Amino acid sequence: MTISSAASTDKAGHSVGPPLWLLAELTYRCPLQCPYCSNPLDFAQTEKELTTDEWVQVLRQGREMGAAQLGFSGGEPLVRPDLEELIAEARSLGYYTNLITSGLGLTEAKVNAFAAAGLDHIQVSFQASDPELNNAIAGSRKAFEQKLKMARAVKEAGYPMVLNFVVHRHNIHQMKDIMSLCERLDADFVELATCQYYGWALENREGLMPSKAQLERAEAEVNEFRAQLEASGSHMKLIFVTPDYYEERPKACMNGWGSLFLTVAPDGTALPCHSARLLPIEFPNVRDTHLKSVWYDSPGFNHYRGDAWMPEPCRSCDEKDKDFGGCRCQAYLLTGNADNADPVCSKSSYHDRILAARKAADHATVGIADLTYRNAENSRLFFKS
Amino acid sequence: MANVLRFRRGFRFQWEPAQQCHVLLYPEGMVKLNESAGAILQEVDGERSVAELVAVLEQKFPEAGALANDVCEFLEHACNQHWLEVS
Ligand code: SF4
Ligand code: SF4
């Protein structure tokens, strides 16, 4: 999410502001099997999902604290039969409500019913610009056609249309086709996001990460397309999220730990970002903790606030207010210690691991069929071992 | 000045008590508005022309003097950002 400000806001000091963005991961259930899914590897082990009433409590508490943006995601949020009810509740509380869906399980009737309930926006995610590749990656034979149909229905119902494509080495050559498809569908916002390598995507990194050459070509194509859009006065906005593995400085992950984002996982675990669950840190559960104390008081949320926790090289670095030392999950996954600088940073003594991944991307031969797909069977392998 | 502006579909303008400011919400994003931006956008209703909007604001803030230039400049910015469109 982008937050820009027409007013001058005070970024200094470490006083904790309210969580402005609440992500409700309603379920880990999903009919698709994307090999870059951000759900935990052991999602199949997850405890019981929150009930409707429990979600309503979470929504109320979050709104009271000042959350304004609400995302319903998953898994596939459409598998929850109470979705419409939750949308209506959220909208009446004053949230801007976003539904992040694969489009599977969506129908025209639902698109319209959700609009009537007050849903502000539906984001449909695609896996590629043609059915064959799309369906191979999604692990489903009829996904593409359904997605197209639903994208059209979303537009017809008058929603702003946001299309999301996860970009990787097997579809990055389709950039031009993807962008023209979006234009044909009259999308308002298009997110072309390369995978972030946690969870399933890290398992599959070699088979997903584009090479430098692929990336440069794609960037040039996006820039060219964007220039054309601007010249024609088009309202379509194009965002290309490139992999941080090709940067020398990490991203300012989540705008700072516990500064804007609050994720609630299907079982009620509250997290500063949706992948934080993999960290060796204890996080509170909304079933027994009020969202206010989750956010302001819990050790989990306070763990990486401010900068007192930073070891070198971040501690004495003059860029620490800019990137907060990068992503804690990436630091943990690649260096074994979540306190470390994100190894994307060239000042990190583990930066060679990023360089090695770049090199591997130049020669990778992993095919689409060789990827580990996100499904319950594979997931069980992860928590048995 | 004769144009009538309205918020583009999917863009919602509202007061946020927790932030003590007006904000503009849109798919997965939010702009915090300063006081004058908030005051101007508050008058955008899809019915009044820009000229009428200026008149309303000048009446509301008599101490601010002539506002046409500032208001038009801001509204142009808002249209370029595709927050507003001509209705
Ligand atoms: S990334 Fe794919 S598998 Fe994971 S929840 Fe989304 S659609 Fe389902
Ligand atoms: S050393 Fe740490 S704070 Fe400095 S740029 Fe690298 S990651 Fe950021």
Which residue has a Cα nearest atom 4 of ligand 1? A37
Q: How far apart are CA A175 and CA A118, in angstroms?
A: 33
| Inter-chain CB pairs, A–B, below 8 Å | 81
CA distance B20 to chain A (A): 10
Better-scored residue on pLDDT, A203 or B27: B27
Q: Is the C-beta atom of A34 inside 6 A of ligand 1?
A: yes
DSSP structure class, residue A276: G
Tokens of B81: 């950002």
Please check whether residue B60 touches A, CB under 8 A: no
Q: Which residues of A233-246 are buried (b: 16+ CB within 10 A; e: fewer)?
A: eeebbbebebbbbb
Any idea which residue has 């400011």 for tokens? B21
Residue A33 CA: nearest ligand 1 atom is 3
Tokens of A170: 């097997």
Written as one letter, the residue type at A191 is: E
With a cut of 90, say whether residue A364 has pLDDT above it: no
Q: Is the C-beta atom of A103 inside 6 A of ligand 1?
A: no
Query: What 3-state DSSP class applies to A103?
Result: coil
Q: How far apart are CA A125 and CA A101, in angstroms?
A: 6
Q: How far apart are CA A372 and CA B67, in angstroms?
A: 61
Q: Which residues contact A53 (CB under 8 A, 6 or more apart)?
A: none
Chain B CB contacts of A8 under 8 Å are 34
Residues A274-287: what's their mean pLDDT?
Answer: 93
Q: Is the C-beta atom of A30 inside 6 A of ligand 1?
A: yes
Q: What is the pLDDT of residue B74?
A: 94
| Overall residue count recorded for chain A in this entry | 385
Give the tens place of pLDDT for each residue, A132-179.
777 777 777 678 888 889 999 999 999 998 999 888 888 898 889 889
Nearest alpha-carbon partner for A251 in A198, A213, A299, A203: A198
Q: Note the pTM of the prediction, 2 decimals.
A: 0.87
Give the tens place of pLDDT for each residue, A303-350.
999 999 999 999 999 999 999 999 999 999 999 999 999 999 999 999
Pair A265, A341: CB distance under 8 Å: no
The answer to ipTM > 0.85 is: yes
Q: Which residues contact A291 (CB under 8 A, 6 or more apart)?
A: A58, A61, A62, A65, A262, A270
Report CB contact under 8 Å: B19, A66. Answer: yes
Report CB contact under 8 Å: B27, A121. Answer: yes
Q: What is the pLDDT of residue A204?
A: 77
pLDDT band at A370 (very low <50, low <70, confident <90, very high): low
Measured in Å, residue A375 CA sits from the centre of ligand 1 at 10
Which residue has a Cα nearest atom 3 of ligand 2? A320
Q: Is the C-beta atom of A33 inside 6 A of ligand 1?
A: yes
Pair A232, A183: CB distance under 8 Å: no
Pair B51, A25: CB distance under 8 Å: no
Q: What is the pLDDT of residue B65?
A: 84
Pair A343, A351: CB distance under 8 Å: yes
Q: Please name the member of B16, B32, B82 whose beta carbon is closest to the beta carbon of A7.
A: B32
Nearest alpha-carbon partner for A218 in A238, A198, A248: A238
Is the omega angle on the peptide bond into residue A313 within 30 degrees of 0, that is, cis? Answer: yes
3-state helix, strand, coil in chain B (%, to 5): 40, 25, 35
**Cα-flanking dihedrals φ and ψ of residue B60, to 5°?**
-70, -35
